[in-house]
């Protein structure tokens, strides 16, 4: 029986996307409490010192095997962490595991010039800066002024000194600075159905097929711009918190068509079991073979749903 917080059409779509053997777990994840994940901000302090301070708050952190600076705590302990001085001064950052994973997939390094193309509120950008050891250059882009100010404030609080924030439409960046960045993160605005919570009507009333179509149009412009801004040999990570193939596999296929073979999909090693490869088709849509390299993270008690696709660039933009 389908829960009331998922409409008939939405539930049918989710079943077609993840499969009948996975849909029950997906729907349960919308209703069940999730652990709280957080990241030690290594710009502010070492993992060993900071985690000792976290334990002094009376919480019981468990390490995340695939990310040294990431930890989990039970949901009932969340407020002790979020209302602590450690959160206020940027020593720790509460962030979803799927989002933490994204930065580890991109793998930015010190002394690179990197880009976060849709950056607010700054969780991934600050993680990128930490992985870069706060050395190099990090350009961060946000098109909405209040969100840009919040982004800049967050990065300052988290001790990021290598970033420069730009108020602009990310779809214009590739033409403005072609072939520039070593790594590009594009966590694209999306219909956000991974954030549905059964106890929050606003979270599930936001989703609609119209919203999916609107976001997909924007995402196609953003991914082409992101790729244009990437150096040959660099790495682009495209991700969303949507289940919808129109916002995921279809956008990957659009990039492959738009770049005429210059975009090469890269494999993504998955250090956990709750994932599926990209799907080859959805209803009337057929996708490029490149989607087989993509990964859809399935939600559970620790993760929100997430889609990731990674690419490299073979040669400079043909117009540059």
Residue 184's CATH number: 3.40.50.150
146 and 169: one domain? yes
287 and 190: one domain? yes
The catalytic site residues sit at 241
Q: pTM for the whole thing? A: 0.95
150 and 279: one domain? yes
Closest among 193, 291, 240, 252 to 98, alpha carbons compared = 240
Residue 211 annotated in ligand binding = no
72 and 140: one domain? no
Instruction: Write down the pLDDT at residue 240.
Output: 97
Determine which helix (DSSP H) or strand (DSSP E) holds 299, and give its type and residue range: none
Structural domain includes residue 26: no
116 and 264: one domain? yes
- C-alpha 127/C-alpha 236 separation (Å) is 16
Beta strands (DSSP E) in 41-162 are: 62-64, 67-73, 92-94, 113-116, 137-142
- C-alpha 292/C-alpha 299 separation (Å) is 20
Tally of domains within the chain: 2
Instruction: Write down the pLDDT at residue 261.
Output: 83
Residue 187 annotated in ligand binding = yes
Average pLDDT, the chain: 94
What is 205-256 written as a DSSP string? Answer: HS--HHHHHHHHHHHHHHHHHHHHHEEEEEEEEEEES---GGGTHHHHHHHH
Instruction: Write down the pLDDT at residue 1.
Output: 46
pLDDT by residue (tens digit) across 99-111? Answer: 999 999 999 999 9
Residue 31 annotated in ligand binding = no
127 and 275: one domain? yes
230 and 302: one domain? yes
User: Span 45-70, mean pLDDT?
Assistant: 97
115 and 248: one domain? yes
For 119, phi then psi, to 5°, come to: -90, -30
Structural domain includes residue 112: yes
157 and 275: one domain? yes
- C-alpha 217/C-alpha 267 separation (Å) is 25
pLDDT at 262 exceeding the cut of 60: yes
Residue 142 annotated in ligand binding = yes
263 and 167: one domain? yes
pLDDT at 165 exceeding the cut of 90: yes
Residue 50's CATH number: 3.30.70.1170
53 and 184: one domain? no
Last residue of a domain, one of 94, 120, 145: 94
> Residues of the chain with pLDDT > 70: what percent?
98
Structural domain includes residue 5: no
Cα separations in angstroms, 68 against 51, 131, 205: 11, 11, 37
- C-alpha 303/C-alpha 39 separation (Å) is 14
Name the band, by pLDDT with cuts 50, 70 and 90, for residue 320: very low
User: Span 192-208, mean pLDDT?
Assistant: 82
Residue 124 annotated in ligand binding = yes
48 and 164: one domain? no
Instruction: Write down the pLDDT at residue 82.
Output: 96
Structural domain includes residue 262: yes
Last residue of a domain, one of 50, 75, 94: 94
Instruction: Give the range of the structural domain holding residue 234, as residue numbers without chain letter.
Output: 97-313
Residue 19 annotated in ligand binding = no
């Amino acid at each position: 029986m389908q829960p009331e917080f998922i409409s008939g059409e939405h539930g049918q779509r989710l079943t077609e996307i993840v499969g009948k053997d996975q849909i029950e777990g997906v729907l349960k994840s919308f209703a069940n409490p999730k652990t709280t994940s957080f990241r030690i901000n290594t710009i502010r302090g070492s993992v060993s010192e900071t985690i000792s301070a976290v334990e002094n708050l009376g919480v019981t952190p468990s390490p995340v095997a695939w990310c040294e600076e990431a930890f989990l705590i039970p949901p009932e302990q969340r407020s002790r962490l979020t209302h602590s001085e450690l959160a206020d001064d940027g020593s720790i950052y509460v962030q979803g595991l799927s989002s933490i994973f994204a930065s580890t997939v991109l793998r930015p390094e010190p002394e690179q010039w990197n880009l976060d193309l849709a950056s607010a509120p700054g969780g991934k950008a600050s993680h990128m800066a930490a992985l870069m050891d706060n050395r190099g250059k990090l350009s961060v882009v946000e098109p909405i002024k209040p969100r840009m100010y919040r982004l800049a404030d967050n990065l300052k609080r988290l001790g990021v000194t290598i970033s420069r924030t730009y108020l602009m439409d990310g779809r214009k960046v590739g033409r403005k600075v072609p072939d520039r960045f070593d790594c590009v993160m594009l966590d694209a605005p999306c219909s956000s159905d991974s954030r549905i919570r059964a106890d929050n009507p606003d979270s599930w009333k936001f989703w609609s097929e119209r919203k999916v179509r609107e976001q997909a149009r924007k995402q196609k412009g953003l991914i082409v711009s992101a790729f244009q801004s990437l150096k040959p040999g660099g790495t682009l990570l495209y991700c969303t918190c949507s289940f919808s193939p129109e916002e995921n596999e279809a956008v990957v296929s659009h990039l492959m068509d738009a770049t005429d073979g210059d975009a090469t999909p890269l494999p993504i090693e998955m250090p956990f079991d709750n994932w599926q490869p990209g799907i080859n088709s959805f209803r009337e849509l057929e996708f490029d073979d490149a989607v087989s390299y993509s990964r859809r993270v399935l939600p559970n008690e620790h993760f929100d749903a997430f889609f990731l696709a990674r690419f490299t660039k073979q040669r400079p933009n043909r117009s540059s």
